[in-house]
Structure 1
């Protein structure tokens, strides 16, 4: 923090500007008086700060509501629409993309089907199509993008390289950030998908406000994300939560119990087999219920290990299978109660299979905040 006692007025203006932006992003639109009250600045100082932020393109005046009587006080808002962010979920079978404004409000979403065995070129082309679909729906262009944040399966190093991926052969030892920078002329961020899913549930979903969370990212493949002390935990080598790699945890092959159930109708596509089993179990089908019990047996082993190590406040069942929480939660609860010294709260995700793409948007917003809206990053740029 700069020492302001020496009269560093430019630094003081910068801090005042950041304070005003934070207030407008949390509670805008606001009048000058309300903004001054929230920031602790005088109204004349806030008027000067607001004028400068309008000149830079970060703030604009909100037109008065129609039918307003008299001369209404001027209100101002943060221009979240001055740029756009994209979040992408690159899964084994689907690629989802979402476009948002700078505050993370999602404006458009698209999806592209893929296969785990697709060659690299086809998967990258599907990513480009998914993002292009969002741009078309929102009537924006690739030049309007500030950041593309991607969640994907595998162990991801800090530079955006996929160090290891068991589910997608073409992903192994891939400089994914470098490949995507060839497609998108903006900043590209890469993170593990289960961590982004945990982040989304912690910021927007059922785990909001919880400080220690185990997020079970369950679907046609298994993963986990950890929230420790209110923050996503990456680990020393960015490989936290990879309990699926432990054979004794029985997570890697656990979905096969649902995929191979005899209750799945003949001709059901492989990607729909598990959903068919869970639906049959909901209707009381004995074979499907037995398959669910075997699946939950395996799910509980790795979950109990993480609960015993971390003693979390909450365990969240998330991912694609969270839509069947009515079938899975109670048998999972019974098994955890037998194994855990203290039973955490067990909840179903409120974001479902959208958790990764939403987490990617939140990741991009957080990165934007760190870059532009923290006191030590220098002057705010002109945005228009």
Structure 2
């Protein structure tokens, strides 16, 4: 990762560099005069800082004609850039080099792997996924995940050396060091030091987080919960999980186990969620899997009374699980994702029951990012890490 100041060790210069870079990072093409106005720094200071940022590879000077065209295109009218208005020497224009590095988000799921690559502004440049059998052992699964990443990079013509950070989403309880403390959804996953295993494939930081937590982050960043500070994301399935943001920040809990609502049935010693969907007559094969459940849900949509009964029991459990989190957190919005989010009518039962069970019913929406929510959240995890490094003023 390039150094923020091009090697200058002065604390004041590092602060000035961070301020200037953020102005460019958040905006489009800016002139020196505009940067002076945005940062409040003197023109000589900005000129010096810009030269250091160009040297580091984080900023590039833009041709005035191209800059004027870019401004015109963004404004939807004729060029009005400083270089056009003023006489004499054209103004110098600069932009942040979002292409100076890349961020990678990876989802390791029960039935497959997905990877998304973005630039330093978080704009998606490509995605690739592949199915993986749920019975695949840990080492083979990790090899397939590495292959998924390699194929994505190959298709995009992107060097692995340009990666600044990698975010990874996985089922299970994950601690702060990226170790899966409990992971029953994947064979050999409990106790796996996933972060350390994957770091061998990269020269940049690898950050691992629970999949539902990352889906919550993804929906907050680019999905159904944009602008909502307090939210609950429900990853609906046979053993549902949830991720929560409070004040826009992820709530992981002391050991990373916050949101494991799939274990709520243990409080009352009731049937597990899978047993609710495997009663006699529901036409599920043994062992129970998501494909079998999908068939039952499809039958329910077609009006099969036995399947409708099974579906209603499942939704009732899901509603109660979500209500427990809503009562504890009081979120502004509940976003429902996972394979069960494809159910017709899942939103209305949730809204109705939450209004009955909760003191202040939240907004309820289906995930806007669909199957990509976890991988997009993983990109955001990498993005936030890169941001902290990029704008740090510590030496």
TM-score range, shorter chain: 0.7 to 0.9
Contact 1:261 1:288 in 2 (8 A): no
Q: Specify which of 114, 136, 145 is matched with residue 96 of structure 1.
A: 114
Report the Cα distance in structure 2 between the residues aligned to 1:333 and 1:349, rounded to whole angstroms: 15
> TM-score when scaled to structure 2?
0.84
Aligned positions of 1:231-242 closer than 5 A: 231-242=249-260
Counting matched residue pairs gives 367
Report the Cα distance in structure 1 between the residues aligned to 2:138 and 2:197, rounded to whole angstroms: 10
Paired residue for 1:33? Answer: 33
Contact 2:351 2:363 in 1 (8 A): no
Q: Specify which of 74, 80, 84 is matched with residue 98 of structure 2.
A: 80
> TM-score when scaled to structure 1?
0.86
Local SS of the residue matching 2:218: helix
Runs of 5+ in structure 2 lacking a partner? 1-7, 70-78
Local SS of the residue matching 1:174: coil
Paired residue for 1:20? Answer: 20
* Residue 210 (1) aligns with residue 228 (2): yes
* Residue 172 (1) aligns with residue 190 (2): yes
Report the Cα distance in structure 2 between the residues aligned to 1:201 and 1:11, rounded to whole angstroms: 37
* Residue 373 (1) aligns with residue 374 (2): no
RMSD over aligned CA atoms reads 2.8
Q: 1:284 to 1:16 in 2, by over 3 A?
A: farther
Paired residue for 1:292? Answer: 311
* Residue 53 (1) aligns with residue 53 (2): yes
Local SS of the residue matching 2:371: helix
Measure how far apart 1:249 and its partner are.
7.0
Contact 1:86 1:100 in 2 (8 A): yes
Contact 2:233 2:336 in 1 (8 A): yes
Measure how far apart 1:205 and its partner are.
1.6
Paired residue for 1:224? Answer: 242
Measure how far apart 1:186 and its partner are.
2.5
Q: 1:72 to 1:265 in 2, by over 3 A?
A: farther
Contact 1:23 1:35 in 2 (8 A): yes
Contact 2:278 2:284 in 1 (8 A): no
Local SS of the residue matching 2:167: strand
Task: Identify which range, 35-44 or 134-143, moves more after superposition.
Answer: 35-44
Q: 1:150 to 1:208 in 2, by over 3 A?
A: same
Runs of 5+ in structure 1 lacking a partner? 1-7, 379-384
Report the Cα distance in structure 2 between the residues aligned to 1:313 and 1:98, rounded to whole angstroms: 28
Aligned positions of 1:1-384 closer than 5 A: 10-63=10-63, 64-65=65-66, 73-219=91-237, 221-248=239-266, 253-254=272-273, 271-282=290-301, 284-324=303-343, 326-375=344-393, 377-378=394-395
Report the Cα distance in structure 2 between the residues aligned to 1:67 and 1:192, rounded to whole angstroms: 45
